[in-house]
Amino acid sequence: MIPVIIGISSGLLIIFVFILLKQFDKPLIYGLVLCGIGFLYVGFDWSNTRALVINSAQAVLFVFIAYYGIKKSKNILASGYFLHGIWDLLYHKFQDSGLIPPQYDLFCLSIDFTMGFYILAIKKAVNKAK
C-alpha cells in the first residue's frame, strides 16, 4: 500500500508543480514525462539482453504514443499513461521481475493512472469551458 500512496503523491506533486509553472506547454510536458517513464525499464534491464530488447521496444512505443498524444489528442496521451500502467502490472509476465526494484510496479502504476486521469480531467474541463 505504501508504494501506491507514494506513487499517487508523486503524480500529484508533478501535476501541482506544472500547474504553478503556467508558462510550460502542458501536453508537451506530460508527453516528455511519458517518454521518460518508458525508458526507466531500459535502465533497470541493461544486464539482461532479452529484457533490454523488449524494454527498448516498449520505450520507443511510448515515445510514439507521446508524440501523437502531443500532436493529435490528449486522449492518446492519457491512453499512453494507462497503457504504461498496464505494462507495469504485466511486466512480471514477460520479464524477470527481479530486474526491477521491489513493488516498483505498484508505485509506477499509481503515478501513471494519477497522471492519466488528470489529463482526462483537463480535457473534460476545457471542453466544458467551450
Q: Give residue-wise pLDDT tens across range 26-48.
A: 889 999 999 999 898 888 888 88
96 residue type, one letter: D
Give the chain's domain count. 1
Where does 21-94 have alpha helices with state H?
26-44, 49-71, 74-94
Task: Give me the domain span that covers residue 117.
Answer: 2-129
What whole-number distance in Å separates Cα of residue 112 and Cα of residue 85? 5
Gap between the Cα atoms of 129 and 115, Å rounded:
21
CA separation for the pair 52, 101 (Å, rounded): 16
pLDDT digits (tens, 9 = 90+) for 98-124: 778 888 889 999 999 999 999 999 877
| Cα 130 to Cα 126: distance, rounded to the nearest angstrom | 7
Residue 51 near residue 99 (C-beta atoms within 8 A): yes
